[in-house]
Amino acid sequence: MNPRKAFTNCGVRCLAATLVLSAWAAWAAESEQEFERLREAMVRDQIAARGVKDERVLRVMRDLPRHLFVPPRWQAQAYTDKPLPIGEEQTISQPYIVALMTELLRPQPGDVVLEVGTGSGYQAAVLSRLARQVYTIEIIPPLAQDAARRLQSLGYSNVQVRTGDGYLGWPEQAPFDGIIVTAAPPEIPPALLAQLKRGGRMVVPVGKSDRTQQLMVLEKSKTSDRIVGRNVIPVRFVPMVGQPSKK
3-state secondary structure of 116: strand
Please say which residue, 19 or 194, places its beta carbon nearer to ligand SAM. 194
Q: What is the C-alpha separation between 180 and 117, in angstroms, rounded? A: 9
Contact 202, 192 (CB under 8 A): yes
17-76 residues near ligand SAM, rule: CB under 6 A = none
Contact residue for ligand SAM among 137, 159, 161, 203 (CB under 6 A): 137
Q: What 8-state DSSP symbol labels residue 43?
A: I
Please say which residue, 8 or 245, places its beta carbon nearer to ligand SAM. 245
Using CB under 6 A as the binding rule, whether residue 91 contacts ligand SAM is answered as yes
Instruction: Tell me whether residue 93 is one of the annotated catalytic residues.
Output: yes
By CB under 6 A, which span of 2-10, 90-98, 196-204, 221-229 interacts with ligand SAM? 90-98
Using CB under 6 A as the binding rule, whether residue 178 contacts ligand SAM is answered as no
Residues 6+ apart with CB under 8 A from 133: 111, 112, 113, 158, 160
Establish how many alpha carbons lie within 13 A of residue 43's alpha carbon, considering only the half-sphere containing its beta carbon: 19
Q: Please list the active-site residues.
A: 93
Which residues here bind ligand SAM, judged by CB under 6 A? Answer: 90-93, 116-117, 119-120, 122-123, 137-140, 143, 165-167, 182-183, 237-238, 240-242
